[in-house]
Amino acid sequence: MGISTGKKLHLTPAISWLAVLLLLLLLPCISGAAAEAKAIDGSRSQHLTLGGKLLRGPESVAFDGRGGGPYSGVSDGRVLKWNGKARGWSTYAYSPGYNAKACTASRLRPAELTESKCGRPLGLRFHYGSGNLYIADAYKGLMRVGPGGGEATVLATQANGVPLRFTNGVDVDQVTGEVFFTDSSMNYPRSQHERVTATGDSTGRLMKYDPRTNNVTVLQDGITYPNGLAISADRTHLVVALTGPCKLLRFWIKGPKAGTSELLADLPGYPDNMRPDGRGGFWVALHREKTELPFGPDSHLLAVRVGADGQILQVMKGPKSVRPTEVVERKGGKLYMGSVELPYVAVVSA
């Protein structure tokens, strides 16, 4: 008893100093966490249901220059427009050769079997000045449909003589009208997207389409799984989501660094599309977390809001059954969430 008491008396100062040291080390993390905005509960949402027994996958969410929408591309190859609760969704655009009968999924003919022919629209973005909607279709390439919708025009199916294998994300410079888009892999189509991650495929490309000349320029190649992208608020650079590496890449399009790229952020999950948050940063949808487990609490990160410097400012959490592909913030704090798997667009109040 006496020896044990003596050891405690000698160790107490050391333990105290260790506790103080740990507290000092953790203070930056504690203050940083406190500075973050309150986490958003993505489980409390309104559903804009697509309709149709097997129709699903509103991957991207876009709004036109008048605030109409949302618009979203779905599993049968169409782009749909939301017209309010009374009317619901209607067909807005479709690719050349689209056939409703042949492209409507059934239990014997799921959408995965027809999407290479019917098209699979992924990224969507309007040019507000012209009213044109640009569509990154995984199989058809880069497309455009004019105001009022209808059959889309294919603008690009190759770059530098190499076919677009997996067209994915898109954004538009609203001043110049230039269109930036990604080709996630030169080896694997969307139907084999898991192979892009599993093999560490680094054949992805970032490109620019000039509507004045109809020319496509490869800005950077050799990228590992480039997915969604967004132009910065000052229009000096693009931010590209790299799905497999769980990172954000910044590519400079103006200034002394033009034509170069750099790492902007490491993310806690696998990113898909990204959209401006209206405050100089971006909302990045996360398909799932890096270390996500199938058991345990039914909650995971749905999206993160990052600042212009790549720092995480806010998070949205929700059930693991929801794996978003895009989050768009609108006035009034509403967040519209698309998913390649679910039969609805979710609307979450921040």
> Got the DSSP string for 16-34?
HHHHHHHHHHHHHHHHHHH
- Marked catalytic residue, from 59, 115, 326, 329: 326
**Single-letter amino acid code for the residue at 125:** R
Q: In 3D, which of 60, 213, 37 has the Cα closest to residue 138?
A: 60
Q: DSSP letter for 152, please.
A: P
Q: In 3D, which of 296, 311, 227, 239 has the Cα closest to residue 33?
A: 311
Query: In a 10 Å sphere around its CB, with 0-12 CB exposed, 13-18 middle and 19+ buried, how is residue 12 labelled?
Result: exposed
pLDDT of residue 100: 94
**Single-letter amino acid code for the residue at 203:** T
Q: DSSP letter for 212, please.
A: T
Question: Is the sign of the CA dihedral 175, 179, 181, 186 positive or negative?
Answer: negative
The overall pTM is greater than 0.85: yes
pLDDT of residue 108: 86
Tokens, residue 81: 């427009």
In the annotation, is 112 catalytic? no
Tens digit of each residue's pLDDT, the chain (350 residues): 333 333 333 434 443 444 434 333 333 333 333 335 789 999 999 999 999 889 999 999 999 999 999 999 999 999 999 999 999 999 999 999 899 999 999 888 889 899 999 999 999 999 999 999 999 999 999 999 999 999 999 999 999 999 999 999 999 999 999 999 999 999 999 999 999 999 999 999 999 999 999 999 999 999 999 999 999 999 999 999 999 999 999 999 999 999 999 999 999 999 999 999 999 999 999 999 999 998 899 999 999 999 999 999 999 999 999 999 999 999 888 999 999 999 999 999 97
pLDDT of residue 326: 98
pLDDT of residue 52: 84
d(CA 227, CA 282): 15
Tokens 């967040």: give the residue.
335
